[in-house]
Amino acid sequence: MKFFSFWRSLASFRVRIALNLKGLPAEIELVDLDADAHRADDYRKVNPQMALPALVTADGTTLVQSLAIIEYLDETHPAPPLLPADARGRARVRALSLMVACEGHPLLVPRVRRYLDRELKLRETQQAAWRRHWTVETLAALEAQLAGHQDTGRFCHGDTPTLADICMVGHVTVAITQQIDLAPYPVVKRIFDAAMALPAFAIAHPLAQPDTPEAMRVKG
């Protein structure tokens, strides 16, 4: 498999965790978002949407959209499962995942930030306020869903990591980057710490990647 990734990409972070949890090796193709490599012809042929990640399977099929990729990996390599066995549990895990992947994250991606900057010409302080607003809103929504829920366990759903944890850790990582205080979100914080203590999560962290800028790289 060939995996198109960038260190800072949260959607790539999600797929890295899933590959690690499943123990699946992939040849990594680095696409530098900061250099607009995702807009160049080479990558546009892989994903015309010009967004990371993409995964090319052994039979040459190109998959895009991190959640679709992860569900594909889960269906083709069922152990360990990333979705619960019951329909109600799957609906809850998918809902928690979508709160991040379809509500919070899209408001922070480079093409949105570029539009705020270049088209709307917002000042950096306004752009930072935008990022902070949507990051906090998603954190609060996650905390409200997780706190006190009977199915919340060591992780978002029960005591093993699921797609929901994979999505949640990326969002918390963004919050930490923005120096947002996590104290108001104690369940989110507890689950984040539990997940990031697992090697599959830790080695997928944006600051631990081969293309992480040297000055920022966490030495493992």
Ligand X SMILES: N[C@@H](CCC(=O)N[C@@H](CS)C(=O)NCC(=O)O)C(=O)O
Q: Does 38 bind ligand X (CB under 6 A)?
A: yes
Q: By CB under 6 A, what part of segment 60-99 binds ligand X? A: 65-67
Q: Does 46 bind ligand X (CB under 6 A)?
A: no
**Which amino acid belongs to residue 35?**
A
Stretch that binds ligand X, among 72-80, 103-111, 193-201, 207-215 (CB under 6 A): 103-111
CA-to-CA distance for 27 and 30, rounded, in angstroms?
10
CA-to-CA distance for 86 and 134, rounded, in angstroms?
31
**Closest alpha carbon to 159 in 193, 195, 126, 133:** 195
Q: Does 10 bind ligand X (CB under 6 A)?
A: yes
HEC per residue, 161-194: CCHHHHHHHHHHHHHHHCCCCCCCCHHHHHHHHH
CB 148 → ligand X: shortest distance, Å? 29
Residue 70 CB contacts under 8 Å (≥ 6 apart), including other chains = 14, 15, 18, 82, 163, 166
Stretch that binds ligand X, among 9-17, 88-96, 190-198, 211-219 (CB under 6 A): 9-17
Q: Does 110 bind ligand X (CB under 6 A)?
A: yes
CB 183 → ligand X: shortest distance, Å? 27
Binding site for ligand X (CB under 6 A): 9-11, 33, 38, 50-52, 65-67, 101, 109-111
